[in-house]
Amino acid sequence: MRVLMVAPPGAGKGTQGAVIAAHFDIPHIATGDLLRDHVARQTPLGREVRDRLDRGDLVPDQIVLDMVGDELLRAKRNGTGYVLDGMPRNITQARAVYQVAKSLDMTANVALHLQADDDELIRRLLARAALEHRTDDTDEVIRRRLALYHDVTHPIVAWYASRGILVSVDAMRPVERVARQILTALEAMRPLLDHVPEHARRPVDLTGLGAAFGDA
């Protein structure tokens, strides 16, 4: 099982990515965590990233792509799939990740899209900011992050749909119910992934199936 996570801030991408990884016993490739780990271990990549962050520069796409490529290669050597969380964030990155994965014969089987209403996301993120005593996540900053997601990240959803690997779920329900729906869907799809070529697939929209998973 090879899964890409696509979701706005606050939709539970990291949480659900970890659930999927644990269930299928595959690595959870979270790019933010990997960058922080490299910085903590003071690897050459970590030192380069730290220096850029200290200067206030963005981490170039190629650095993150190289890091992701190393993780995909490790997963291939270990005979596992993966959950990729934190990249891609725009269509250029999406195509670049695809080329890296294609060169390793490790392209994603599923692009999992977590859908949620902006008002609910703002409520969640403000609650998290208060709980974690984060002063940087204000209402204004959160709205700006969501606007950036809609303008820059969300267009990749259509690209994954055109490839037939998009699976959309409603992420506005309790975490456990969202996880149950995701795992049920992925388990149902798993036997078919090696037998149905990508060009013959169609996007799957599960956002209307809440009643089957305990919703009123």
pLDDT tens, residue by residue, 110-153: 999 999 999 999 999 999 999 988 777 889 989 998 998 999 98
Contact 108, 99 (CB under 8 A): no
In a domain, 21, yes or no: yes
The backbone region for 25, taken as left when phi is positive above 0, alpha when psi lies in -120 to 50, beta otherwise, is left
Q: Is residue 215 over pLDDT 60? A: no
In a domain, 83, yes or no: yes
Q: Quote the domain boundaries for residue 86.
A: 2-28+79-208
In a domain, 68, yes or no: no
pTM: predicted TM-score of the whole model, two decimal places: 0.86
**DSSP conformation class of 208:** T
Distances (CA, A) of 159 to 45, 60, 111: 31, 23, 10
Residue/partner pairs of 192-197 with CB below 8 Å, 24 or more apart: 193/1, 193/109
Distances (CA, A) of 73 to 67, 70, 80, 82, 102: 10, 5, 10, 11, 11
Q: Is residue 196 over pLDDT 90? A: no
Mean pLDDT score, 172-182? 93
In a domain, 169, yes or no: yes
Per DSSP bridges, beta strands 28-30 and 82-85 are: parallel
Select from 61, 62, 63 the least CA-distant residue to 49: 63
Q: Would you state the pLDDT for residue 111?
A: 96
Question: How many structural domains comprise the chain?
Answer: 1
Whichever domain contains 176, its CATH number is: 3.40.50.300
Predicted confidence (pLDDT) per residue in 156-166, tens digit: 999 999 999 99
In a domain, 44, yes or no: no
Q: Mention every residue, 6+ apart, whose C-beta is less than 8 A from residue 42.
A: none
In a domain, 139, yes or no: yes
Contact 4, 167 (CB under 8 A): no
At what angle are helices 44-55 and 61-77 packed, to 10 degrees? 150
In a domain, 56, yes or no: no
Predicted confidence (pLDDT) per residue in 51-99, tens digit: 877 776 778 889 899 999 999 999 999 999 999 998 998 999 999 999 9
Residue 25 to residue 152: CA distance in whole angstroms: 32
In a domain, 86, yes or no: yes
